[in-house]
Structure 1
Amino acid sequence: MSNQKMSVLEKVGFGAGDMALNVVISSMMLIITYFYTDIYGLHTADLALLFVAVKVVGGVADLVVGQLTDRFDSAMGRYRPWLLWLAIPYGVSVFFVFTTPEAEYNAKLVWAYSTYILMTLMTSGVGVSYISLISGLTSDPQERLSANGYRLFFAKVGAFMVTIIVPILAQRWGHGNPAAGYQAAMGVMAAMGVVLFLFCFAATTERVRHVVVRQPLMEQVKLLMKNDQWLILCGVCVTGTVGYVVRGSVAIYYAKYYLGADTATVSAFLSTGVVAAILSMVASTWITKSYCKVKLFRNTQLLVAALSVAIYVLVKPGDMVLAFVLYFLLSFVVDLHAPVFWSAIAETIDYGQVKTGKRVSGSAFGGISVCQKAGMAVAGGLVGVLLAYFDYQPNAEQSAFALNGIALMLSVIPGFFHFLMGALMFKYRISDEYYDEVKAEMRTHGYVAS
C-alpha cells in the first residue's frame, strides 16, 4: 500500500474545497432566509415551500452524482475532476441566487425557484464529489481526522468571511439599495469559491483506489440498508442538520430583533458563533488524540441541548453580553463533533464492505448528502412555518409573541434536535481500535487496490 501521509499543503488544499463549499452552506444557514424575507421580499409561506421543494431536487441530484462518481475514474482520480469542471458553473449559480430582479412578485418567485434549483444542482455536483474525496486521499484514520480538521477549520473561515464581509459590504456597496449590495457582496464570495475549488483540485492527490464493482441502484440501496453504522450516521446527519439550520437561519433575526442590535453588532454576533466553531475545529483535533472520538461526539451534543435551554431561560431581550457569551459557548461545543462525523462516513463504507463483501461508495456519500438536504428541507420548511406562526413582520417592530418565538427558534427547538443527535450516537461503535480490525479484513480480502 502506498504512503498514506498527507502533506500540510495537501491538507490545506483539501480544506480550501470546504471553504469554497461554505460560500453556499453558510449563506444558506445564516443569510438566505433573511435575504429572501427582508431584502428579496418573499412571503414566509412561499419561503417554506421553496426550501422544501429545492431540497427535494437537491436530494435526487445527490443520488445521481453519487452514481456518476461510482461509474467514473480517470488518471486524475474519481472525484477531483468534478471540482475542476464545475467550479465556474457553481460560482455563477451562487451569483444568480443573490440577484434580485426588478419585477412583479410572481416573476420574482419564478426567478427564486429557478436560480435556487440551479445552484442546488451545481452544489450537488461539487459537494458530493468533495465529501467523497477524503476516501481517496488516505486510508489512515488519524490522517483523515487531521485532514477533516483542516477542512472544517477552513470551512469555518469561509463562514466567518460570509458573516463579516457580506453584511458589511452589502451595506457599503448597496448605497441604500440592499438588493444591489447583497448581489455585489455575494459575487465576491462566488468568485472566491471558484478559485478555492480550483486550488483544491490542484493541491490534492487521490492515492487510494478502491475496487468498486458496478451494481444496480436498488442493490446498492439494499446493501446500505444492511449497514447499521451508516444508517446511524444518516439519522445523525438529519437531526443535526435540522438543529444547525434552524439555529443558523434565525440567528440574524435574534440579534437584530431580540437583542436590538445594529448592522455591525448583528455581524459581530454571527461572527462570534463562527469564531467559536473555528476554535472548536482545532480543539477537536487535539482532544481526539487522547479521548474517544465516539464519546466526544455524543456527549457534546447532549451538552448542546442543555446549553440551548440555558440560553432561552437566562437571556432576556436586549441582554447583549450574556447572549454573546452563551452563543459563543454553544457554538464551540456544538462543532467539536464535526471532524469525527466526516471521517466516520468513509469508515462506515469500509465497514459495510467487510460486512457484505460489496463496496457502496458513491451512493453512501451521496446518501449522506441526501440526508443533509433532507435535514435542510425540514429545517427550511420549519423556519418558514414558525416565522409565520409567530407572526414575524419583516423590517418592523416585533410583538412579544414573535420575540419569544425567535428566542425559541435559536435555543430550545434546535437544542431538541441536537439531543436526538447525541442519543443516536450511543448506537455507534466504530472506534479507532475497531476500525483497525476493519482495515485488516479489507487487506485480507483484497478490497484495496493500492
Structure 2
Amino acid sequence: MKTQKLSVLEKVGFGAGDMALNVVISSMMLIITFFYTDIYGLRTEDLALLFVAVKVVGAVADLVMGQLTDRFTSRFGRYRPWLLLLAVPYGISVVFVFTTPDWGYSAKLIWAYGTYILMTLMTAGVGIPYISLISGLTNDPKERLSANGYRLFFAKIGAFMVTIIVPILATRWGDGDPAAGYQAAMALMAAMGVVLFLFCVFTTTERVIHVVEKQSLTEQFKILMRNDQWLVLCGVCVTGTIGYVVRGSVAMYYAKYYLGGDDAVVSAFLSIGVAAAILSMVASTWVTKFYCKVKLFRNTQLAVAAISVLIYYAVKPGDIMLAFVLYFILSFVVDLHAPVFWSAIAETIDYGQVKTGKRVSGFAFGGISVCQKAGMAVAGGLVGVLLTFFNYQPNVAQTPLALTGIALMLTVIPGFFHLLMGMLMFKYRISDDYYGNVKTQLRDSGYLTT
C-alpha cells in the first residue's frame, strides 16, 4: 500500500490548527475556573453545575459534527471546509465568554451559560473536523505520529502563550479592571486562533480517501461497541481528561494561595508546566523511534501517579522552588503519551473496519471527543464540589482546610485518575507491527484508496 510523506510545512500547518484550538482548551483547563470565581464572580456551587451542563451540550454537538463530517465532502476535502467556515465564529465566541457584563448576579449567570454553550458549539464545529483531519492527510503510522508530534508541540506553544500573555496583558490592559483586561487579552488570543485555523486550511492537503458507508446511528453505535481497542481509548480519554482538568483548574489557586505567589509567580508556575509539556512533545517523538509507544503510554501515566503523591508530601505551603522543580517533572512525564494517543484513534478506526467489515469514522472521532467532554464535565463538577467542600473563598487568605484541599486537587486526586489511565493501557495492543497487519488487510479488502 502506498504511503504519503508529509512536508515540514504541512506538519507545521497541521500543528497550527491545534494551536488555534488550544486558545479554548488551555483557557478552559488553566484559566476559566479562576476567571469565573475570582474575576467574574460566580459562586463555586454554581460553577459545578455550569461545567457539567455545558459539557453535556458539547458532547451532543461533537456527535452531530461527527455525523456531518461523514456525510459531506467536497473537492477541498471532508474536514478542512469546516475549519474555513467556522474559524471566525469560533474566535468571536471566545471573546464573548471572557466578557463580564455589569449586571446582577442572576443575569451574569445566564450570560455565562449562554456564552459558554455558544463557544462549546463553535469548538465542536472546528474541533471534530480538526482531530479527524490526520486520517485524511496520510495513512503512514510513522507520519501520523510525527504530524501529531508537531500538532501537540504547537498546541503547547499555544497553551504557553495563554499562560504567559493572558495574565500579563490582563493586568496591563485592564487599567485596574481585571475583567476588562481578561476580555482584551483573550480577544487577542481569539484573533490569533482564527489566523492559525486559516493557515492550517491552506497548508494541508486531504489525500487519503476512506470509503464511508451510510449507516444509522444505532448501527454505528453497535459497530463501535464491538471495537474493543477503541473502547479502551474511550476509558483512557475519560480518566486522563479528569486528571488533566482537575490539576489544571487548580494550578492558579495552588500558585497564588498554597505557594503564596504574586501575579508573576502564578504566571511562571503555569508557564513552567506548559514549557515542560512542550519539551515532552519533542522527547516523545524521539523516544518512540526506539521504544514501544504503547509501553511509553502506559508507564508514563503510572509514573505520574507516583510523582503526584511525592509532590503532595514533599512540598509545603510557600515552598516555591521545590514546587516548581517537581511540577516541571510532573508536567514533562504526563505529556509523553500525548502524540501516541491522538495517533492511536485513527488506528483503532482502521482496526475496527478490519474486525467488523464496516468503517465508523465520524462517530468514532466524535465519540472520543464526547469522552473528552465527559471527562471535562466530571472534572469541572468535581472541582466545583471540592472547592465548596474545602471552603474556598476567593481573594482572601485561605484556611488550612482550603490549602490542604488545593494541594490534594493538584496532586493526589488527579494522580489517581492517571493511575487508572495507565492500568487501562494494559488492555491496548495496537503496536506499529500490529497496525502494519491491519493496513495490509485494508488494502487487500479494497477499503482504502490513495
TM-score bin, normalised by smaller chain: over 0.9
Q: Distance in 1 between matches of 2:166 and 2:376?
A: 22
Contact 1:2 1:207 in 2 (8 A): no
Distance 1:284 1:350, change over 3 A: same
Could you tell me which amino acid in structure 2 is paired with residue 179 of structure 1? A
In the other structure, the counterpart of 2:163 is 163
Contact 1:170 1:184 in 2 (8 A): yes
In the other structure, the counterpart of 2:150 is 150
In the other structure, the counterpart of 2:133 is 133
In the other structure, the counterpart of 1:6 is 6
The answer to whether 1:247 aligns with 2:250 is no
Could you tell me which amino acid in structure 2 is paired with residue 58 of structure 1? G
In the other structure, the counterpart of 2:301 is 301
Could you tell me which amino acid in structure 1 is paired with residue 78 of structure 2? R
Instruction: Please state how far the C-alpha of 1:3 moved relative to its aligned partner.
Output: 4.9
> What is the root-mean-square deviation of aligned Cα atoms in Å?
0.5
Could you tell me which amino acid in structure 2 is paired with residue 53 of structure 1? A
Q: Distance in 2 between matches of 1:246 and 1:91?
A: 25
In the other structure, the counterpart of 1:399 is 399
Instruction: Please state how far the C-alpha of 1:203 moved relative to its aligned partner.
Output: 0.5
User: SS at 1:159's partner residue?
Assistant: helix
In the other structure, the counterpart of 2:262 is 262
Structure 2: which 5+ residue stretches go unaligned? none
Instruction: Please state how far the C-alpha of 1:449 moved relative to its aligned partner.
Output: 2.2
Q: Distance in 2 between matches of 1:355 and 1:166?
A: 47
Percent identity for Structure 1 against Structure 2? 81
In the other structure, the counterpart of 2:96 is 96
Could you tell me which amino acid in structure 2 is paired with residue 71 of structure 1? R
Instruction: Please state how far the C-alpha of 1:51 moved relative to its aligned partner.
Output: 0.1
In the other structure, the counterpart of 2:70 is 70
In the other structure, the counterpart of 2:85 is 85
User: SS at 1:158's partner residue?
Assistant: helix
Structure 1, residues 291-344: CA drift from partner, whole Å, max 9, x if none?
000000000000000000000000000000000000000000000000000000
User: SS at 2:398's partner residue?
Assistant: coil
Structure 1: which 5+ residue stretches go unaligned? none
Instruction: Please state how far the C-alpha of 1:376 moved relative to its aligned partner.
Output: 0.2
Could you tell me which amino acid in structure 2 is paired with residue 381 of structure 1? G
User: SS at 2:448's partner residue?
Assistant: coil
TM-score (norm 1): 1.00
Q: Distance in 2 between matches of 1:143 and 1:444?
A: 22
Instruction: Please state how far the C-alpha of 1:148 moved relative to its aligned partner.
Output: 0.2
In the other structure, the counterpart of 2:433 is 433
Contact 2:3 2:139 in 1 (8 A): no
Q: Distance in 2 between matches of 1:426 and 1:297?
A: 10
The answer to whether 1:378 aligns with 2:378 is yes
Instruction: Please state how far the C-alpha of 1:207 moved relative to its aligned partner.
Output: 0.6
In the other structure, the counterpart of 2:364 is 364
In the other structure, the counterpart of 1:121 is 121
Q: Distance in 2 between matches of 1:213 and 1:205?
A: 23
In the other structure, the counterpart of 2:30 is 30
Contact 2:211 2:448 in 1 (8 A): yes
Structure 1, residues 95-121: CA drift from partner, whole Å, max 9, x if none?
000000000000000000000000000
Instruction: Please state how far the C-alpha of 1:251 moved relative to its aligned partner.
Output: 0.2
Q: Distance in 2 between matches of 1:80 and 1:362?
A: 14
User: SS at 1:245's partner residue?
Assistant: helix
The answer to whether 1:348 aligns with 2:329 is no
* 1:283-322 → structure 2 map (5 Å cutoff): 283-322=283-322
Contact 2:280 2:336 in 1 (8 A): yes
Instruction: Please state how far the C-alpha of 1:349 moved relative to its aligned partner.
Output: 0.1
In the other structure, the counterpart of 2:446 is 446
* 1:202-213 → structure 2 map (5 Å cutoff): 202-213=202-213
Could you tell me which amino acid in structure 1 is paired with residue 323 of structure 2? A
Contact 2:98 2:186 in 1 (8 A): yes
Instruction: Please state how far the C-alpha of 1:2 moved relative to its aligned partner.
Output: 5.5
Q: Distance in 2 between matches of 1:389 and 1:215?
A: 46
